[in-house]
Chains A and B, each alone.
Chain A
Amino acid sequence: MSLTVSEKKDLLKVATQVRRDVVRMVHGAKGGHPGGALGCTDLFVLLYFKYMKHHKNFSMDGKDEDLFFLSNGHISAVWYSTLARFGYFPVKELDSHRKINSRLQGHPTPHEHLEGIRMASGSLGQGLSVAIGAAHAKKLNKDSRLVYCLMGDGELQEGQVWEAAMYAPNRQIDNLIAFVDYNGQQIDGPVDKVMSLLDLRAKWESFGWTVLESNGNDLEELSETIEQAQLLCGQGKPIIVLMTTSMGYGVDFMMGSHKWHGVAPNDTELEKALMQLVDGMEDY
């Protein structure tokens, strides 16, 4: 068992609050991408509140820290909330998401100097390459910390992902753990209908990656998978976790449909959503 009872309780509390933040941010901005953000909340909370070594006193180089790169930048709300809740910047700033003069742009960027963000993302397919580059730099610097990267499943339709997928095993990038948000949905519908990924495990394995699978909305299972992935680092191969999630997880009417990929809840829907997300912390 990788999480103690009290740890799990604490992490669930944070996850609930992050989900509350996500729906409130998207509602406040009257736009955004709640579906993937809610689906990936458990991963963000586990990485930032348990598994990554990192400081809220942000430095771009992140020496001797674990680094995280979000390739599917449209789920920015969950990242912003996680960073703020950890203490990178004031939680009140979450209210500015997607609004004018904000550091919390629709898609994440270091351009506005928001603590915690090292790379812009939004145009899909670029994050894995960046994460591999950062992993290379860590090796050159004899820095033993790890690099984490999250991609969407629809995003895997981008060609650059497979350039990066080919590169990493060839260069023994074994200080990298990548995750795929395997929720099976993209803007135009189910991934299988838009452009099927077919046997995704076989694809990554054939490129030379160690492939793990996990339920991304079960804190304990995901936690065990992350620990397993960490143990597999340093063995000459990059690691990828195919993380099955439910888009919109935590809010029943947002779950399992691509409809909530990029739509904000109205006032009634917000209220309904927040009633399902209880026992969090304090709203911003």
Chain B
Amino acid sequence: MKKFTFTEKLDTRSGFGVGLVEAAKQNADVVALCADLTGSLKMDAFAKEFPERFFQVGIAEANMMGLAAGMTIGGKIPFTGTFANFSTGRVYDQIRQSIAYSNKNVKIAASHAGLTLGEDGATHQILEDLGLMKMLPGMVVINPCDFNQTKAATIAVAKYVGPVYLRFGRPTVPNFTPAEQVFEIGKAVMLNEGSDVTIIATGHLVWEAILAGEILAEKGINAEIINIHTIKPLDEQAILKSVAKTGCVVSAEEHNYIGGLGESIASLLGRHNPKPIEMVAVQDTFGESGIPDQLMKKYGLTAADIVAKVEKVIARK
């Protein structure tokens, strides 16, 4: 097992904040809108540096999505900022009609995704957003794994022409990917080559997958670990190639198992190369208040849970 290290834990939302400023420096057409969560989304630096390109919309997410869609007419590249819940479920029809169906170059930046938003509880902990967004034709769906990857993803999506859903989170997580990485939309990242099982993880579950890989190595199980940061379009070739070698898959994500990355992989395998798959994901329930570590444990999203699923899936080969 390849060794992964990190020097500090950082929040992915801060990676977005830094990436947004960088993207705005690179392209004067980048603008940002926020629905009264500027601090939470780490958009303060952008607002300070580019006040004429920052639009406070108040607590009115539906209007924000429409404004962003309209701003693309004239060549602007708008990033909308609010929590993942209010970036998707609350405004699904606005995104569907004014952004996706209208093919507008809007970047939906969604923070505080999943359980690890923590103490605020289930009203804010959306676990359905990836499914909602990946079902929209033409929507690119990205869920980076750490600060550096989120920063790189933010810069990359500003250059991409078309609607994008960019999902990140609140808690600090190990920042282990390279600082100067090139982010390729739709391209899987091979973290560790192995032969017994393919672990495919997204978001901050990628670090849990690495920890699981270390535990498995001690047990003599050689895991291939792939970071899928782009849920849609899915890097089908990378997944099929890996599974052809290992013969089984464990997916890991902070999302309902229905509609998430695991489901996309299961569908891919079903169509091309049926192999056993186990999913580390939330089991079709809502979340609850708690600190992130407690929630990850209670809802089965830790390295230990990945290890257990690996053992189960290998037995099914």
Contact = CB atoms under 8 A, between A and B. Distances in A.
B73 A60 contact: yes
B66 A171 contact: no
Contacts of A62: 73-74
Interface in A184-201: none
Interface stretch (A91-99, A129-137, A273-281): A129-137
Contact of A143 (B55, B63, B74, B104): B74
Nearest to A111: B101
A122 B62 contact: no
Contacts of B68: 133
B93 interface: yes
A135 B76 CA distance: 12
B51 interface: no
Contact of A166 (B60, B65, B66, B72): B60
A118 B74 CA distance: 11
B76 A126 contact: no
Nearest to B102: A120
A100 interface: no
A7 interface: no
Given A130-B69, A137-B75, A140-B74, A164 B63 contact: yes
A122 B102 CA distance: 12
Interface in B68-103: 68-76, 78, 93-94, 96-98, 101-103
A144 B211 CA distance: 57
B57 A167 contact: yes
B62 A129 contact: yes
B74 A119 contact: no
A23 B276 CA distance: 59
B69 A141 contact: no
A110 B103 contact: yes
B178 interface: no
B31 interface: yes
Interface string A150-185: 000000000110011011001100000000000000
Contacts of B70: 69, 119, 129-137
Contacts of A133: 66-73, 78
Interface in B202-239: none
Nearest to A158: B62
Contacts of B64: 129
A138 to B, nearest CB: 6
A167 B73 contact: no
B53 interface: yes
Interface residues of A, number: 40
Interface string B251-265: 000000000000000
B58 interface: yes
Contact of B60 (A123, A134, A167): A167
A108 to B, nearest CB: 10
A138 B67 CA distance: 13
A127 to B, nearest CB: 8
Interface in B95-145: 96-98, 101-104
A141 B74 contact: yes
Instruction: Determine which residue in B53, B55, B70, B78 has the highest number of CB atoms from chain A within 10 A of its CB, and name it.
Output: B70
Interface string A248-277: 000000000000000000000000000000
A141 B74 CA distance: 7
B55 A171 contact: yes
Given A126-B97, A136-B67, A110 B102 contact: yes
A61 B93 CA distance: 23
Contact of B67 (A111, A119, A125, A132): A132
19 contacts: A63-B75, A111-B103, A126-B97, A129-B63, A129-B94, A130-B66, A132-B67, A133-B66, A133-B78, A134-B73, A136-B67, A137-B72, A137-B73, A138-B74, A163-B62, A164-B67, A167-B57, A167-B58, A167-B60
Interface of A: 60-63, 67, 69, 109-111, 118-123, 125-138, 140-141, 143, 159-160, 163-164, 166-167, 170-171
Interface of B: 31, 52-53, 55, 57-58, 60, 62-76, 78, 93-94, 96-98, 101-104
